[in-house]
């Protein structure tokens, strides 16, 4: 089965969808492309800052996964829930995260949403439906399911929750428990799997043996889709469709995108283990370059416009970095060091 062609693997369960009549919206494509570009360039900047020793901890970039990620963020709207994972800079921006929030978190600014208490991709604004991932893979799936359960309790209508995971994350118990629970409750959960062929260094042959991860959808009794994660138009269409299917009461949606991580697990990792044949295959194509080509061929944008968008993105990045770099880091003497919302119940410092 060619991985870059859209196919409704589970015909009985999936609504059919076709690349021929995309109904693809020019404006949406252009907007998505711009988020992808901003994500790619901002993460390149973070990687440079990391190599220059200006970022503590680590930098984990989504190079090669921007088309899929942006399609999730752009398909959601205010009132929805989004729990991104580590390679979702594009989706985060499209969902509404400011570049400054992201930059402040990477650079450890006290003014960022995590205030230096957590860093890099472990960031969010949960009150605004933008959940802050924990590192333990799969954990956000039941969490989003619970948020959707809450919205149902509160009588809200027309909401969706989306969360992203990788091929490695599908092996966790939390993935199974979360998707199954969402299916039992028929929740509007969109679970997006980026099969980027490696979990850190572990290839998919050591991760699972089914022909395609989307086969799991049948096991949970949910609708499933398999798609080419390097094609922005396909990602926008399939993810957008799944989000609307979830929104209109068709229960959880499992999306499996095939693509390749175009780099290491993080910037500390030289990714020497990635199979050269995969890199040279269609799976290894760069979604950003493909989207740019598509845009020009369709005449949905001009070269001059692309240059302008790139310059604009670089300006935004420079501004965000300059701002965050001027800001104070957290001060251990100013932190209250209390882990509880109920402050008076926090323990004192006995036996210190």
Partner 1 sequence: MSITYLEAIREAQAKALADDPRVYIYGQDVGNFGGAFKATKNLAKEFPGRVIDAPLSEDAIIGSAIGAAIEGMRPIIEMQYADFSTCGLNQIVNHAATLFWRTQVACPITIRLPSGGTAGSGPFHSQSMEALYATYPGLIVMTPATVEDVYSMLLEAVAIDDPVIFCEHKYLYYHLKAEALPTEALPTGKARIARPGRDITVVAYSAMVHEALAMAEELATEGTEVEVVDLRSVKPLDTDTVLASVARTGRLLAVGEAWPWGGVTAEVVARVACEGFDLLDAPPRRLNAKETPVPFHPNLWGTHRPTARSIAIAVRDILRQ
Binding characters for partner 1, 229-268, by CB under 8 A (x = yes): ----------------------------------------
Q: Return the residue of 6, 68, 107, 144 that touches partner 1, per CB under 8 A.
A: 144
Q: Return the residue of 27, 270, 276, 347 that touches partner 1, per CB under 8 A.
A: 347
Any contact of residue 149 with partner 1 (CB under 8 A)?
yes
Using an 8 Å Cβ cutoff, are 339 and 346 in contact? yes
Any contact of residue 341 with partner 1 (CB under 8 A)?
yes
Nearer to partner 1, 270 or 336 (CB): 336
Cβ of residue 243: shortest distance to partner 1, in angstroms? Answer: 18
Any contact of residue 23 with partner 1 (CB under 8 A)?
no
Any contact of residue 114 with partner 1 (CB under 8 A)?
yes
CA quadruple 232, 237, 241, 242: dihedral sign: negative
Which residues, in sequence order, are bridge partners of residue 256?
A: 193, 226
Q: Return the residue of 181, 194, 214, 324 that touches partner 1, per CB under 8 A.
A: 181
Using an 8 Å Cβ cutoff, are 77 and 169 in contact? no
Which string of DSSP letters, residue by residue, matches 296-341? HHTTSS-HHHHHHHHHHHHHHHHHHHHHHHHSPPP-TTT------S
**Host H or E run for residue 162:** strand 161-166
Using an 8 Å Cβ cutoff, are 195 and 254 in contact? no
Any contact of residue 349 with partner 1 (CB under 8 A)?
no
139/59 Cα distance (integer angstroms)? 21
CA atoms within 13 A on the CB side of 205: 2
Judged by CB under 8 A, the chain residues 183 through 202 that form the site for partner 1 are 184
Positions touching partner 1 (CB under 8 A) are 81, 113-114, 117-118, 122, 124-127, 131-132, 134-136, 138-151, 153-154, 173-174, 176-178, 180-181, 184, 339-342, 344-348, 350-351
């Amino acid at each position: 089965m060619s991985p870059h062609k859209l196919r409704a693997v589970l015909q009985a369960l999936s609504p059919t969808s076709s690349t021929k009549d995309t109904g693809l919206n020019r404006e949406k494509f252009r907007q998505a492309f711009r988020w992808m570009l901003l994500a790619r360039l901002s993460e390149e900047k973070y990687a440079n800052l990391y190599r220059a020793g200006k970022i503590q901890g680590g930098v984990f970039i989504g190079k090669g996964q921007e088309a899929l990620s942006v399609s999730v963020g752009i398909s959601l709207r205010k009132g929805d829930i989004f729990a991104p994972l580590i390679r979702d800079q594009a989706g985060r921006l499209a969902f509404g995260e400011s570049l400054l929030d992201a930059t402040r978190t990477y650079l450890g600014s006290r003014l960022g949403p995590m205030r230096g208490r957590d860093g890099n991709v472990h960031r969010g604004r949960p009150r605004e439906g933008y959940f802050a991932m924990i590192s333990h893979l799969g954990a956000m799936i039941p969490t989003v399911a619970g948020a959707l359960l809450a919205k149902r309790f509160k009588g809200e209508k027309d909401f969706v929750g989306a969360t992203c995971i990788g091929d490695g994350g599908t092996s966790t118990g939390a993935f199974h428990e979360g998707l199954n629970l969402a299916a039992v409750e028929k929740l509007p959960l969109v679970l997006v799997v980026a099969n980027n062929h490696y979990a850190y260094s572990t290839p998919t042959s050591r991760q699972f043996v089914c022909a395609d991860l989307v086969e799991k959808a049948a096991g949970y009794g949910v609708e499933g889709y398999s798609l080419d994660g390097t094609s922005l138009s396909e990602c926008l269409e399939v993810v957008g469709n799944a989000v609307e299917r979830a929104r209109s009461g068709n229960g959880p949606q499992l999306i499996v995108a095939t693509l390749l991580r175009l780099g290491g697990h993080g910037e500390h990792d030289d990714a020497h283990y990635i199979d050269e044949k995969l890199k040279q295959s269609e799976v290894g194509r760069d979604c950003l370059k493909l989207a740019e080509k598509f845009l020009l061929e369709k005449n949905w944008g001009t070269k001059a416009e692309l240059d302008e968008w790139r310059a604009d993105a670089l300006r935004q990045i420079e501004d965000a970095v300059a701002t965050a770099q001027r800001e104070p880091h957290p001060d251990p003497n100013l932190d209250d060091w209390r882990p509880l919302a109920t402050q008076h119940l926090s323990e004192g410092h006995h036996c210190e």
